[in-house]
Amino acid sequence: MNQDDKKQAAAEKALSLIPKGTYIGVGTGSTVNFLIDALARTQFDIKGAVATSLETERRLTAAGIEVVSPAVTGRLPVYIDGADEINHSLQMIKGGGGALLREKVVASISDTFICIADDSKYVSKLGKFPLPVEVLPFARSVVAKALFRMGGEANLRVGFKTDGGHEILDVTGLDLSRPLTMEDELNKIVGVMDNGIFARNAANVLVLGTKYGAELISAK
Ligand code: 5RP
């Protein structure tokens, strides 16, 4: 099984966790694209979806699924999304696809966060993947200096703008051994829109694609 097969296995297994006839949150990325394909193929009974990116909106619409805003849905029973890294407490690094701000909004209004990922993403310690930090372009250098003082090296994602018109700094070197504290500390820097640590909004369940198929994993 290659990495895409594992992503697909995780995405298809997640269908069994989605309540029928409701609105759901749908994330962004290649693993989620397998989910959208599966929702379309099985004509899954959902009312509609809140999308975490313009790209996901486009794919959902093409699949015949109505895209709605959080103003319409209020709280969501489930939100399904991928991750760049997920630890054994189901805390994550997200934002590799640059959609982290909307992703955090959708996570914050969802009762259950279902993470779908291949097994290369499941790690004992967060931090190998550079941490995406979304910044107001005007404040980019101010934020980069603050990150430097915290031990981080910030690299601008060149030529990239988020759906909200912001920039992304990919940051290495930060100590992520206390994800909750670091998530909060980074968000205190003026000019930071949000950061890719999902510890306050950790996943409730991980559907992990492995060479044996997909398995459900809870926080340890
Ligand atoms: C996008 C994300 C994605 O969930 C993350 O990058 C994983 O993507 P993929 O499923 O393509 O590996 O956070 O902002």
**Is the alpha carbon torsion for 133, 139, 142, 146 positive or negative?**
negative
> Is 97 touching ligand 1 by the criterion CB < 6 Å?
yes
pLDDT at 1: 87
Low-confidence residues in the chain, pLDDT < 70: none
pLDDT at 197: 99
> Measured between alpha carbons, how far is 132 from 149 in angstroms, rounded to an integer?
17
Atom index in ligand 1 nearest the CA of residue 94 equals: 13
Short-list 76, 75, 32, 82, CA closest to 57: 32
Catalytic residues: 103
Pairing of strands 92-93, 197-198: antiparallel
For residue 174, report the distance from its CA to the centre of ligand 1, in Å.
Answer: 21
Is pTM beyond 0.75? Reply is yes
> Is 209 touching ligand 1 by the criterion CB < 6 Å?
no
Give 156's strand partners.
Answer: 169
- Enumerate domains of the chain plus CATH numbers: 3-124+200-217 (3.40.50.1360), 131-195 (3.30.70.260)
**Complete DSSP assignment for the chain:** --HHHHHHHHHHHHGGGSPTTSEEEE--SHHHHHHHHHHHHTT---SEEEESSHHHHHHHHHTTPPB--HHHH-SEEEEEE--SEE-TT--EE--TTS-HHHHHHHHHTEEEEEEEEEGGGB-SSS-SSPEEEEE-GGGHHHHHHHHHHTT-EEEE-TT---TTS-EEEEEES---SSHHHHHHHHHTSTTEEEESEESTT--SEEEEEETTEEEEE---
pLDDT at 19: 97
pLDDT at 72: 97
Candidate from 28, 57, 113, 166 with most ligand 1 atoms within 8 A of CB, to mutate: 28
> Measured between alpha carbons, how far is 183 from 146 in angstroms, rounded to an integer?
14
> Is 134 touching ligand 1 by the criterion CB < 6 Å?
no
pLDDT at 179: 98
pLDDT at 52: 98
Say if CB 47 and CB 21 are below 8 A apart. Answer: yes
> Measured between alpha carbons, how far is 130 from 176 in angstroms, rounded to an integer?
11
> Is 104 touching ligand 1 by the criterion CB < 6 Å?
no
Chain centre to alpha carbon of residue 204:
13
For residue 147, report the distance from its CA to the centre of ligand 1, in Å.
Answer: 23
Residue nearest atom 8 in ligand 1 by C-alpha distance: 29
Short-list 101, 86, 182, CA closest to 135: 101
Q: What is the pLDDT of residues 86-134, one digit of tens each?
A: 999 999 999 999 999 999 999 999 999 999 999 999 999 999 999 999 9
